[in-house]
Amino acid sequence: MNADHKALEQQALESLDSMSAVPKLRGVIGRLIGWVDTCFLSLAVVALVAIAGTVLLQICSRLFLPFSIAWTEELSRYLFIYMVALSVGVVLRQHRNISVELFHHLLGLRMKAVIHVVICFLIGLFALLVLPYAWQYAQNGTWQTSPTLHIPMLYIFFSTVVTFALLLIYSVLGCLEGLLALCRPSAAREQES
């Protein structure tokens, strides 16, 4: 039942997202990338749970204590920033970012793969151009500390480096997957669809 449920869930997700027809990498590399995806998503979920705990602590301190804890708002903001930074690559790989799909369902697998390569290439190019400036921005935090937690802002500003580095890596993976989908024989592509 569990395998049937997973298959039905995957089929429903693929019907909602027409770009998921571009096949992902398989084999050892595909499993390794899946494991890395799971690690990043797990870290993002830990950050989300920590945000919920921090906000709950802030609410409880305002209601039940004679003083409010000052650092909870700042910590929840930093956790949110890192939650987004750690999940941005996986979101790109799974096509879960916001997009307008007016005509994608009308295209064949080859054109979907071309669009996927173009989108990933443009995102990767943008990330490559912004990454050196993100590093400069992160270095600005070496002499600053956060107001209430008193941690170096380098760690907080470094989230921009993480974001654009992951976007660059995952866009290269997306380009590779799209190019491999383009290079596959047409008979095998028609059998899969």
Encode pLDDT of 44-80 as tens digits.
999 999 999 999 999 999 889 888 888 999 999 999 9
Q: Band of the pLDDT at 122, cuts 50, 70, 90?
A: very high
pTM: 0.81
**What is the structure's pLDDT at 142?**
87
**What is the structure's pLDDT at 191?**
44
**Residue 120 in contact with residue 171, Cβ under 8 Å?**
yes
**The amino acid at 72:** T
**What is the structure's pLDDT at 16?**
55
- Provide the 3-class DSSP secondary structure of residue 152: strand
Instruction: Report which DSSP code applies to 147.
Output: T
Tens digits of residue pLDDT in 9-32: 766 666 555 566 667 778 888 899
Instruction: Please report where in the chains the tokens 């935090």 appear, as a residue.
Output: 141
Q: Which two tokens stand for residue 139?
A: 């270095």
Residue ranges of domains in the chain: 24-192
pLDDT at position 187 over 70: no
Q: Which two tokens stand for residue 70?
A: 């000052």
